[in-house]
Amino acid sequence: MSALVKKVKMKIKKGDKVIILTGKDRGKKGDVKKVIPAERKIIVSGINIFKKHVKPNETYPNGAIIQIEMPIHSSNVALLDPKLDVGTKVGYKTLSDGKKVRVAKKSKEIIDNIN
């Protein structure tokens, strides 16, 4: 990776409910646990689980095979519409009091406030 890291604005935030659009977990729903903007990836709870072999250490004295959630590219998920329970795109809207909010494009439902 180069020394200059481009700051990326992602429309999916930690805590959002998303639906997986592609891959082995297609159609599953989950909550976003972590966002990695530099790589445009997110970690979704219960999605994209892989097994990792761990050498013996203090935590696992005999070694182990543990399951971890791997990142998934943000283009492979869609925000879950709060009203319709389907995937939707994200738009932005400024309210009359000057607050900027995220809006689900399909139902025009307000998702949350942006500070």
pTM value is 0.81
Full DSSP string of 10-55:
-S--TT-EEEE-SSTTTT-EEEEEEEETTTTEEEETTSSEEEEEE-
- Is residue 3 in a domain? no
Residue type at 28 in one-letter notation: K
Q: CB-based contacts of 52: which residues, under 8 Å, 6+ apart?
A: 65, 66, 67, 68
Model pLDDT, residue 24? 93
Model pLDDT, residue 5? 67
**Do 65 and 115 have their domain in common?**
no
Residues 40-56 pLDDT 10s: 999 999 999 999 999 99
**Do 24 and 75 have their domain in common?**
yes
The whole-angstrom separation of Cα 15 and Cα 42 is 11
**Do 24 and 76 have their domain in common?**
yes
Instruction: Assess whether pLDDT exceeds 90 at residue 10.
Output: no
Instruction: Assess whether pLDDT exceeds 90 at residue 9.
Output: no
**Do 62 and 13 have their domain in common?**
yes
**Do 74 and 97 have their domain in common?**
no
